[in-house]
Copies of this chain bind each other. A is one copy, B any other.
Amino acid sequence: MARMKLFYLGPEGTFTHQAAMTAADQFATLGDFDLIALPDVPAIMQAVQSRQGWGVIAWENNVEGYVVPNLDALIDAPNAAGFARISVDVAFNAFTVRGHSIYDCTGNPVSAHPHGLAQCTRFIAEHHLQPEPASSNAAACRDLKPGRVALGPSICGELYDLDTLAEHVQDFDGAHTEFLVIAPRDVVQELNARAHSNDAGDFETIITFIPLVTGPGVLADLLDVLRDAGLNMTSFISRPIKGHDGTYSFIATLDAAPWEPRFRTALEEIAGHGDWAKTLAVYPRRERPNPPVDAWMLPEGGVHITNRAPEGWQYTEEARKELLW
């Protein structure tokens, strides 16, 4: 089978490494993957676009939102697109050098990226550990010294031959980061064509639009076309183009593949208006919860008119306070 390279953000043992291991498993029928750590995302983009292999980049976290620099990099990459989306739970284990128990470490330094330290405050307090920031969780595990503790993804135990003192030491469960697996655009076309002809089920698409005219209603006009095509949108953000204040691009995630006639017709109409468009990723549809939005789920405060809206609600102190009008 073909040997292929899969690039990820190093050092070994990052959450991106964990996503890359999942991707290598998932695409095992396509090749034997050598997982290769690179120092930053621009290096990954460059390696993929020069056809040295495929790459894995962080895309979105349910607590922190989009990884905007990676989003900007993919928008601006002439020859890379995503074809798979992989979710990794943000879960931390506590590690020591082999043969040391947690009791040997009480009161000693604990090392992780500042974000990692901030996500494991209960465990750190419970064992009276002294937080010591590292450049990454993986680096903290790699550079761990006897008598000290490092916090990092579970894969660091095996990678760096460490003892696992405790699993899932993060303060809150439920955080997850999603990654895109990227390849040169013609490879993505070929992979998609294969999946499509195998009737591989439903797809999602991430696409960027840049209206060349600006002013009120530009975005509404764009979304009207997607609505009229019956396309369901699951995420949407505006971004300044390459960070330039006062310019706008829009990034939408839609429940459809661009080759479906209704989506294709909508894209022809949008491009026909003169808007710039570029598809960033097409990948198999994720299983997603679809909870109805109930009142108990709403944030505190706000205005919410039910069927029995009182006459003159607009003039209440409550409406003034919540809408600031």
A residues with a Cβ closer than 8 A to B are 62-66, 68-69, 71, 75-79, 81, 113-114, 117, 131, 133-136, 174-175, 185-186, 188-189, 192, 205, 207-208, 210-212, 214-217, 219-221, 223-224, 226-228, 230-250, 257-259, 263-264, 267-268, 271-272, 274, 276-279, 282, 288-293, 297-307, 309, 313-314, 320-325
Find A304's partner among B75, B245, B276, B300 (CB 8 Å cutoff): B276
Question: Please, how many angstroms separate the alpha-carbon atoms of A69 and B323 in the complex?
Answer: 22
Find A235's partner among B228, B238, B279, B299 (CB 8 Å cutoff): B238
Residues A134 and B133 in contact, CB atoms below 8 Å apart: yes
Find A65's partner among B66, B114, B241, B325 (CB 8 Å cutoff): B66
Residues of B within 8 Å of A78, CB to CB, are 300-301
| Whole-angstrom distance between the Cβ of A135 and the nearest chain B Cβ | 5
Question: Please, how many angstroms separate the alpha-carbon atoms of A139 and B242 in the complex?
Answer: 31
Residues A300 and B220 in contact, CB atoms below 8 Å apart: no
Residues A321 and B241 in contact, CB atoms below 8 Å apart: no
Residues of B within 8 Å of A313, CB to CB, are 271
| Whole-angstrom distance between the Cβ of A125 and the nearest chain B Cβ | 13
Residues of B within 8 Å of A117, CB to CB, are 135
Residues B76 and A68 in contact, CB atoms below 8 Å apart: no
Residues A236 and B236 in contact, CB atoms below 8 Å apart: yes
Name the residue of chain B whose CB is nearest to the CB of A253.
B238
Taking A289-B245, A322-B278 as contacts, is the C-beta distance between A75 and B114 under 8 angstroms? no
Q: Is the interface of A mostly helix, strand, loop or mixed?
A: mixed
Residues of B within 8 Å of A258, CB to CB, are 323-325
Question: Please, how many angstroms separate the alpha-carbon atoms of A310 and B64 in the complex?
Answer: 43
Residues A69 and B64 in contact, CB atoms below 8 Å apart: yes
Taking A223-B223, A227-B216, A323-B278 as contacts, is the C-beta distance between A241 and B297 under 8 angstroms? yes
Taking A65-B66, A259-B325 as contacts, is the C-beta distance between A174 and B243 under 8 angstroms? yes
| Whole-angstrom distance between the Cβ of A259 and the nearest chain B Cβ | 4
Residues B278 and A243 in contact, CB atoms below 8 Å apart: no
Find A293's partner among B62, B247, B305 (CB 8 Å cutoff): B247
Taking A223-B220, A238-B237, A321-B186 as contacts, is the C-beta distance between A289 and B246 under 8 angstroms? yes
Residues A247 and B291 in contact, CB atoms below 8 Å apart: yes
Question: Please, how many angstroms separate the alpha-carbon atoms of A241 and B320 in the complex?
Answer: 23
Name the residue of chain B whose CB is nearest to the CB of A235.
B238
Residues of B within 8 Å of A257, CB to CB, are 325
Name the residue of chain B whose CB is nearest to the CB of A298.
B276
Closest 4 CB pairs of A and B: A65-B68, A217-B227, A278-B302, A220-B227
Residues A247 and B297 in contact, CB atoms below 8 Å apart: yes
Residues A277 and B293 in contact, CB atoms below 8 Å apart: no
Question: Please, how many angstroms separate the alpha-carbon atoms of A56 and B142 in the complex?
Answer: 37
